Structures are given as C-alpha cells and as structure tokens.
A and B are shown apart, each in its own frame.
Chain A
Amino acid sequence: MFERGAVGMERFRADGFDEFVAARWSTLLHVARLLTGGDRQRAEDLVQEALVKLWFAWPKVAEQAPDAYVRQILVRMAARSARRRWWGERPMGELPDRPGPGDFSSAVAERSRLEAALALLPPRQRAAVVLRYCEDLPESQVAQALGCPVGTARSHASRGVARLRQILSDSVRPVR
C-alpha cells in the first residue's frame, strides 16, 4: 500500500516535471552550452545534473520558480566544473572541418566564434553575459542566479561585454 502511494506520488511528480523538462530542454541546453563555452558534452552533463537536482527539489520548487532554480544550479555547476578541470584542450582523432566562405554553415561559424570568445571569459563574467543577453534577465535575477549583489552582477556583465567586444573585434580584424 505504501509502495503504491509512493509510486503514485512519483507519477504525480513526474507528470509536472516531465512537462517542464520537455518545454525547457532546448533552452536549458542552449544556455548550458553558452555557459560552458560551446562544449556540447559538458553542457548536456550540466543539464542532466541540474535536472536531477531539480527532481528532488520539485515538490518544493514546482509551485514557485523552477526556471530560476535550474538556472542557478547551472551557473554554479558550470563555474565549479570550470574550476575543477581543464576543458580547453581535447585530443581528437581528426581535425574538424573549417567552414568555407559562403558555406551554409556560416551560422555555425558564427556560433563557434561566439562560443570560443565566451570560453575566454571568466566563468562568472560569462554567466552574467549569457543570462543578461541570451536569457534577457533583469539584473536582479542575474544577481540572484550568480548569488551576488546586483552591483557585482552588473559589474560582471559590463566587464564581460567589454572583453567580448575586444575578443570579437580582434577575431574579425582582417589578417594582412
């Protein structure tokens, strides 16, 4: 009887949870990918871990703000994993193809350029920029996700944008 009750409760929990995940999966993956500087595998791992944590907190969070909860977990885990390991260089068997001019994959090239530039930022600046410009969050929510005062979050975002401006302008500058 207890088992049946637990299963029923889990099913009830899974219903709302599944809907939430299905609706937000793509966005979460995209944000995680930007937060990791374009590392797709690591982004998937981050989303997976964040959603596992969300599952256990779902009864408490579901009625309030699951988006903010997951965002906060993602930001913290991305910063932590960036501190923990060196992700910048990976051995590969084959070199990836570079997109040619006028190639249909110019969008891919632009995305790669953006992700490479983001990867050069410190984790907190990167998170502030992503949340501010990609998720279009107000500064207060960015600060909440970063776990810092609003002024600090604003400072992170502005410094990140300034650094990105420099990196991207350097990368666009024609080579003589």
Chain B
Amino acid sequence: MDDFERELTRMMRDSRQQAPFAPESRRRLYDGIRARRRSRTLWKAGGSALAVTGLGIGLALLPATGSRPADHRPLPATSPTPPPAPPTPTTSAPSTSQPPTSTPGTTMSGTTAPGYGGTPTSPPPSATPGAGSRTTTPRTPPVSSLPPTAPPSTEPARGPSASAGDASAGSG
C-alpha cells in the first residue's frame, strides 16, 4: 500500500458522517417493507391464479386432443387387413381391387395384422361404419370369417359368407 492508497483510505474513512437510524428512517423502511410484502402477495396470488387457470385449460384440452388419434386409429387398422390375406379362394373378383386400396395402409397392417395371421378376429374400435369398411368387405376371406367374433345378428338377410365378410370388415 503506497502513500496514495493510504491517503485514499483516510479520505474515505474521514468522510464518514454519523447518521443515526432516526425514527423517520425506521418508519420509511417499514413502509417499504409493507409495500413490498403487499406486492409480493399480489404477485404470488396472481401467479397461482395463472397456474391454476393454465392447468385447467390444459386439462380441458388434453382429453380433446387425446381422443383425436384414438378416433383415427381404427380407420387405418381396417384397411390393412387384406395384404396378408393369402386366402383368396372363394372370392376372386374383389381380390383384384386390393392393391390400390391396401398399399397406403400396409405399414399399419404390418403392426397389427401379422399377429393374427390374416384372420382378423375382432378389433372392436373399428366397428364404426365407414367407407373403409365398404372397401374391405369384399377382400376379406370368407374362410377366416368364422363366427367367434362376428356378430351375426346385425345382418341376418345375407348369406353366411356375406355376413362374415361384413363382420370382418367391421372388425378388421
């Protein structure tokens, strides 16, 4: 520490003024504390209200967004059934229309169908009627449409093979 630094230290310490903690300063300090506490409380209340609102909105939207894929999932599951279907003995005509319809959905069929070995038993969610079911009805082999899963009571007028086909289309 050289002379200048010593002088600097002296100047800094000598310039200190005694300022007691007056009641006015104390009052001012506690006013500041109260104001700060109020603002903190408001911030906390606002933050928790926002959090609750956000959670509510999130929970309200979550089921809606979650149901969409569930709705769409059955549709591709119905179309893919044909590709693995080697049994084409009975109905030869519909087999011609297979390639165009089944190609887009082959990926999905690869996941679901192989396990059943080309005999789509009963995936219940696909029971919804739609265009997909119509296209697949002729493709499904009548042999595989054994009664265990097919609800025959829905279409009594048709023959056994047709009803089974409908059922498999609906299911598969």
In the assembled complex, A64 has its CB within 8 A of some CB on chain B: no
* In-complex Cβ contact of B28 among A48, A115, A133, A136 (8 A): A48
Report how many residues on chain A are interfacial, defined by Cβ distance under 8 Å: 28
Contacts known (A25-B20, A133-B9); A107 close to B14, Cβ less than 8 A = yes
Within 8 A of A (CB), among B137-165: none
Q: Work out how many contacts link A and B, with CB atoms closer than 8 A.
A: 68
Q: Is the CB of A114 within 8 A of B11?
A: yes
- Nearest to A111 among chain B residues (CB) is B15
Report how many residues on chain B are interfacial, defined by Cβ distance under 8 Å: 24
B45 to chain A, nearest CB (A): 17
* In-complex Cβ contact of A25 among B4, B11, B21, B36 (8 A): B21
B11 CB contacts on chain A under 8 angstroms: 110-111, 114
Q: Is the CB of B5 within 8 A of A52?
A: no
B28 CB contacts on chain A under 8 angstroms: 48
Contacts known (A18-B26, A133-B5, A134-B9); A56 close to B17, Cβ less than 8 A = no
In the assembled complex, B65 has its CB within 8 A of some CB on chain A: no
Main secondary structure of the interface of B (DSSP, over half): helix
Docked pose: A110 CA to B16 CA in angstroms: 12
Contacts known (A26-B17, A30-B15); A21 close to B32, Cβ less than 8 A = no
* In-complex Cβ contact of A107 among B5, B15, B36 (8 A): B15
A55 to chain B, nearest CB (A): 5
Q: Can you pick out 21 interface pairs between chain A and chain B where the beta carbons lie within 8 Å of each other?
A: A22-B20, A25-B20, A25-B25, A26-B18, A26-B19, A26-B20, A27-B16, A29-B19, A30-B16, A30-B19, A48-B28, A51-B29, A110-B11, A111-B11, A111-B14, A111-B15, A130-B12, A133-B5, A133-B12, A134-B9, A164-B8
